[in-house]
Amino acid sequence: MLKNYLKIAWKVLGRNKFFTFVSLFGISFTLAVLLIVATMMDDLLNPKYPEKKGRRTLVVNEVTMRDKDRTSMSRSGASFHFLDHYVKQLKTPELVAINSNGNTATAFVGDKKLALDLRYTCENYWKVFDFEFLEGKPFGRTELDNNAHVAVISEDTRDQYFGLDTEALGKTIILNGISYQVIGVVKNVPFFRGSTAADLYLPYSTVPWDYRRTGFLGGFEGSVLAHSRSDFSALKAEFNDMVSRIDVPEDEYLQLLEVEAKTLLEHISSEVTASDKNSVGLFLGVLIGGMFLFMLLPAVNLINLNTSRIMERASEIGVRKAFGATSSNLTIQFLVENILLTLIGGAVGLGLAFIVIQFLNQSGWIPHAQFRVNFVVFLVGLLFCLIFGLLSGVLPARRMSKMKIVNAIKGGES
Amino acid sequence: MIKHLFKLIWNQKRKNAGLLFELFFSFLVLFAVLTFIIYNLARYQEPLGFNYENVWQLDLSWNTLTGEEQFAAQELFQEHLKNYPEIEKFSFANRNTPYGNSMHINSANYGEKRASPHTFVVDEDFQSLYEIEVTEGSWFNRADMAAAIRPVVINEILKDELFGDEPALGKEFQAMGEDYARVVGVYQNYKYEGEFSEATAQMFLSPLEDHVFSTILLRLKPGTGANFEEKLLKDISQLVKGVTASVDYVDDNRKNKLLAVWLPMVIFLVISSFLIFNVALGLFGVLWQNINIRKAEIGVRRAVGATQTNIGWQFIGEVVVLSTLAVVLGTFFAIQFPLLGVFGLPVWVYLAAIVAAILVIYLLVALCAFFPSRQAAQLHPAIALHEE
C-alpha cells in the first residue's frame, strides 16, 4: 500500500517541474536555516570541548549587591576572596575551579600587535575542564605557590606568536612587557564558551592587582563540579545556605548579597533574556516559538500551493472514491505524499546546512567555532520535516478527501 | 467593478483566505525588518560629531597604587607624553570613551527641570583631540577650571531639556548631585556609542583638582604602527612601576561596534528576502493554477465582448483587492506599535516602514500577477470555451 502511495507521489512530483521546484525550494531553504540554528544551539547548550563535564558543572559568575532600601545596586563577577573563602569550602562538590574573566594582554611580534584574551586560573581549572594539550602540560599547585611566570597558550596564539606549527614549549612569550615561559599549548576554544574561551591562561598568582582583597564583587568566576547531576539540589541548597550565613560588614553601603550557582542552561537563559528570575522556560519558549513562526510562512505558502493543485488530481480522486476509498484513505495518501516531499526537501536542506556550516567553520567568521551536524541535530531536522509536512499537508489533504465524487470525476469545483 | 471583484473573491473564499493570510504575514515580516533597517539607517545618517581616525586609547590599570601615587604618576605621564614626535595631541579622560562599553549617566537639575545626561569627565584638550564642534561659547580652559564653580560643556539636547529657548551660556545648574556647574560651551554632536546610536543628552564636566583619570587618548601622526605602541608601553611600565597599560585602536573598536549592528541587519535581510522570494514563487504558482481552472469563465467573458485588456485587468484587480485587504489588516496591527509606543522608536520610522512594506507587497503581487494575467488575456475564446 505504502509502496503504491510512494510510487504515485513520485509520479506527481515529476509531472510539473515548476511546482515541484517551488515546493522544494521553500522546504529546503526553511529546513536548512532551522538546521543551522539547531546545530549552533546544540554546540552552545550541550557539553562540548573543553567543557565536557558541563552536565554536572554549576557556574558562579555573577554577584549582585544591593543597599537595604534596594534603590542602588552593583553587579559584576565574583571576587577571588568570595570564591576562595566560601565557595571552595563547600562539602558537596567534587572540585571548585576559579578563573578570571575579561582580561586582556598585549604581545608584539615584529611590527604586529596581538591583543590576547587572558584568563588567570587556579590548578583545579585543568581538572574541571578537559583541555586537549598539543604540547606540554598545565600548571599546578607548585607553580602557583612559587609565583612562577608560566603560561598555557592556545594553538592560535602559538601560531601567531611563534609561527605556524612551531614548537613553543619552553619558549618565552612577553605579555604586557613581562616574560612568561610557555609550559603548555591547548587546542583552540570557540569564543562563546563562557568559562574556557581565551587565547592564554596564566596562574592567578601573577595577577598584577590586589586580587585577594575582601569584598564580594570582582572579576572572577567559579566552576563547581558536582559528583553527579543528582547532587545539584543538595549542592545548590548548601550553596544558598552558605550565602545566607555570610555577614556583610556593617559599614558597607551595599548590604544585601545575591549570588547563585547556575547550570549552563540557566546561565545562558538569564544572559539572553536579561532577566534575574529563572528564565529557562522563557528562553526555550522564545527559541521554539521563533522557529515555529519562521516555519509558518513557508508552510502557508505550501498549503496554498497544494490546495490550488487539487484540481489537477480531481479525476484521480473521483475514481478512487468511486471504487470505495474512504476519506481517511485519501487523507493518509496525500499526507504520505507531502511528507515524502518534505523529506526530499529536508535532505536537500541538510546538504545546504552542511555546506553553510563547513563554510562558517573554515571562514573563521565565528572565531574557533567548529560546529558539527551530529546525530541529535539530524533527529531534530527529521522532526522539523515531519512537523512541516504535517503542518502544510493536513489542510489540503482534508480538502481533497472531502471532495464529492460527482464533482471530482467531472474535474470541477468541490 | 470593485463589487464584482469582491464577489469573485468571496466565491473562492477558502482558497483566498490562504493567500490573504500569506500576504498578511509577509507584510508583518517586511514591516519588522524594514522598521529595524530604516531606524538604523536614519541613525547612521546623523553626523557623528567627532573624528576617530588615528586615535589610540590607552587604558591604565592602577593595580595596587595608592591614590597619591596615581596622581603623581598622572602628572609624570602628562609631561612625558609631550616628548614623542609621533603623538600630535593627547587628552586624559574617564573610561566612557567613543566605541567603548562604558557609560555613565548623571542627574542634572535646573529649577524644576530634570534631565539625565550621559556624563563625561575629561581634560581641557579633549575637544581639540576629537575635533568636537562647539557651536556656542568654547570648551573649558585652565582659567575656567580654576574657578570656584566647575565649568561644563553641554550638548544641544541637554540645553533644550534644561533651558528650552533661553540662552544657556553662563547658566548654573546642579550637575552630579548637589554640586553646581556653570555652562561655558554648547556643542552639537558627540555620538560616542557609535554611528548607529541615538543622540542623547550629554555633558562634559571638567575634572576636580585631584581627579585621577583611567584613560589617555592619543592622536597620532598618520602611519604610526605597532612598533611605536610597543615602545610606548615599555616606557610607561618603566616610568611608573606597577601600572599596566593597554592600547586599543579606536578605529578597530569602531569596526567591531558597527559590525554588531551590520551583521544582524544583513542576516535579517537575507533571511527575509528568501522568505519573500519563496512567497513570490508560491503566489505565482497559485495564480497561474487559478487561471488555468477558470478558462471557462474567461471564454464566456471573451465571447460576450470583453477585450483582452479587460480580462488582464480583472485578474490583476482580484489580486490587488486581495492584497489591499491583507495590507489593511497588517497595517492595523503594525500601527499599534507607534500608538502603544512599544519600543520607543520615533513614529515616523514606523510609518515609513509601513509605507515601504505596502510598496513591496504591491510590487510583489503585481510582478506575480502580471504573467498569469497576460496568459489569461491572450487565451483565445474558442479554445477557452472548448474545454467546457
pLDDT at residue B40, rounded to an integer: 92
What's the whole-number mean pLDDT along residues A295-301?
85
Check whether residue A202 and residue A89 sit in a common domain: yes
Number of compact structural domains in chain A: 2
Give Cα B113 distance to the centre of its chain: 28
Least confident of A269-278, A338-347, A365-374, B155-164: A269-278
A297 CB neighbours in chain B (<8 A) are 22, 25-26, 29, 275, 278-279
Q: Quick one: cell of B312?
A: 488582464
Q: Measured between alpha carbons, how far is A201 from B352 in angstroms, rounded to an integer?
A: 51
pLDDT at residue A255, rounded to an integer: 84
Higher pLDDT, residue B7 or B328: B328
What's the pLDDT tens digit per position in B166-221? 999 999 999 877 789 999 999 998 999 899 988 899 999 999 888 999 999 999 99
Shortest distance between the Cα of B201 and any Cα of chain A, in A, equals: 22
**Residue A53 falls inside a structural domain:** no
B231 CB neighbours in chain A (<8 A) are none
Q: Which residues pair with B367 in a beta bridge?
A: none
Check whether residue A67 and residue A36 sit in a common domain: no
* Closest to A189 (Cα-Cα) out of A102, A120, A131, A139: A131
Cβ separation A113–B293 shorter than 8 A: no
Check whether residue A366 and residue A249 sit in a common domain: no
Cβ separation A209–B26 shorter than 8 A: no
Alpha-carbon dihedral B245, B250, B256, B260, rounded to 10 degrees = 110
Q: Which residues of B69-82 are buried (b: 16+ CB within 10 A; e: fewer)?
A: bbbebbeebeeebe
Check whether residue A146 and residue A195 sit in a common domain: yes
Check whether residue A220 and residue A130 sit in a common domain: yes
pLDDT at residue B63, rounded to an integer: 82
What's the pLDDT tens digit per position in A98-138? 999 888 888 999 888 898 999 999 999 999 999 999 999 99
A306 CB neighbours in chain B (<8 A) are none
Q: Measured between alpha carbons, how far is B309 from B296 in angstroms, rounded to an integer?
A: 17
Check whether residue A38 and residue A70 sit in a common domain: no
Q: Measured between alpha carbons, how far is A77 from A220 in angstroms, rounded to an integer?
A: 5
Whether omega for the bond prior to residue B117 falls within 30 degrees of 0, making it cis, is no
- pLDDT value at B291 more than 60: yes
What's the pLDDT tens digit per position in B222-250? 988 888 998 999 899 889 888 888 888 99
Least confident of A298-302, B8-12, B70-74, B281-285: B8-12
What's the whole-number mean pLDDT along residues A364-382?
82
pLDDT at residue A412, rounded to an integer: 55
Cβ separation A108–B230 shorter than 8 A: yes
Task: Collapse the DSSP code of A73 into the 3-class scheme (helix H, G, I; strand E, B; otherwise coil) and give the result.
Answer: strand
**Residue A265 falls inside a structural domain:** no
Strand ranges, E, within chain B:
55-61, 87-93, 108-110, 113-115, 118-121, 134-137, 150-155, 172-175, 180-187, 202-205, 215-220, 244-249
What is the residue whose three cell numbers read 509531472? Answer: A15
Q: Which residues of B158-176 are buried (b: 16+ CB within 10 A; e: fewer)?
A: bbebbbeeeebeebebbbb
* ipTM confidence score: 0.75
- pLDDT value at A414 more than 50: no
H-only helix segments in B142-183: 142-146, 156-163
* Long-range contacts (CB closer than 8 Å, 24 or more residues apart) made by A248-254: A248/A65, A248/A216, A253/A67, A253/A72, A254/A65, A254/A66, A254/A67, A254/A72, A254/A73, A254/A74
Check whether residue A185 and residue A312 sit in a common domain: no
Which of A22, A304, A399 faces B22 most closely, judged by CB atoms?
A304
**Residue A307 falls inside a structural domain:** yes
Of A227, A259, A291, which one is at a domain's C-terminal end? A259
Check whether residue A35 and residue A174 sit in a common domain: no
B15 CB neighbours in chain A (<8 A) are 304, 307-308
What's the whole-number mean pLDDT along residues A258-266?
90
A307 CB neighbours in chain B (<8 A) are 14-15, 18
What's the whole-number mean pLDDT along residues A178-182?
94
What's the whole-number mean pLDDT along residues A166-174?
93
* Closest to B213 (Cα-Cα) out of B113, B36, B81: B81
How many residues would you count in chain A?
A: 414
What's the pLDDT tens digit per position in B324-383? 999 999 999 999 988 887 777 889 999 999 999 999 999 999 888 888 888 888 877 777
pLDDT at residue B104, rounded to an integer: 85
Q: Which residues pair with A104 in a beta bridge?
A: A117
Q: Using a CB–CB cutoff of 8 Å, tell me whether A309 touches chain B.
A: yes
Q: Using a CB–CB cutoff of 8 Å, tell me whether A74 touches chain B.
A: no
Q: Which residues pair with A59 in a beta bridge?
A: A223, A262
Residue percentage of chain B with pLDDT more than 90: 46
Backbone dihedral angles phi then psi of residue A137, each to the nearest 5 degrees: -150, 170
Neighbouring CB atoms inside 10 A of A75's CB total 12
B30 CB neighbours in chain A (<8 A) are none
Beta strands B108-110; B172-175: pairing state = antiparallel
Of A195, A225, A259, which one is at a domain's C-terminal end? A259
Which of B15, B278, B289 faces A298 most closely, judged by CB atoms?
B278
Q: Quick one: cell of B194?
A: 557609535
**Residue A318 falls inside a structural domain:** yes
Instruction: Write the DSSP symbol of residue B133.
Output: P
H-only helix segments in A274-365: 280-308, 314-322, 327-363
Residue percentage of chain A with pLDDT more than 90: 38
**Residue A274 falls inside a structural domain:** no
Check whether residue A330 and residue A249 sit in a common domain: no
Q: Which residue of B has its CA nearest to A103?
A: B246
- pLDDT value at A413 more than 60: no
Which of A115, A300, A308 faces B25 most closely, judged by CB atoms?
A300
Q: Using a CB–CB cutoff of 8 Å, tell me whether A249 touches chain B.
A: no
Name the band, by pLDDT with cuts 50, 70 and 90, for residue A220: very high
Q: Which domain holds residue A76?
A: 63-259
pLDDT at residue A15, rounded to an integer: 79
What's the whole-number mean pLDDT along residues A21-30?
86
- Record the pTM: 0.81
Neighbouring CB atoms inside 10 A of B96's CB total 20
Check whether residue A297 and residue A331 sit in a common domain: yes
**Residue A71 falls inside a structural domain:** yes
With contact defined as beta carbons under 8 Å apart, do A60 and A221 qualify?
A: yes
- pLDDT value at A176 more than 80: yes
Check whether residue A75 and residue A145 sit in a common domain: yes
**Residue A16 falls inside a structural domain:** yes
Which of B237, B246, B282 faces A304 most closely, judged by CB atoms?
B282
- pLDDT value at A271 more than 90: no
Neighbouring CB atoms inside 10 A of B260's CB total 10
- pLDDT value at A386 more than 80: yes
Name the band, by pLDDT with cuts 50, 70 and 90, for residue A276: low
Check whether residue A374 and residue A401 sit in a common domain: yes
Of A228, A259, A290, which one is at a domain's C-terminal end? A259
Higher pLDDT, residue A61 or A382: A61
**Residue A54 falls inside a structural domain:** no
How many CB pairs below 8 A link A and B? 96
What's the whole-number mean pLDDT along residues B22-37?
92
Q: Measured between alpha carbons, how far is B69 from B82 in angstroms, rounded to an integer?
A: 21
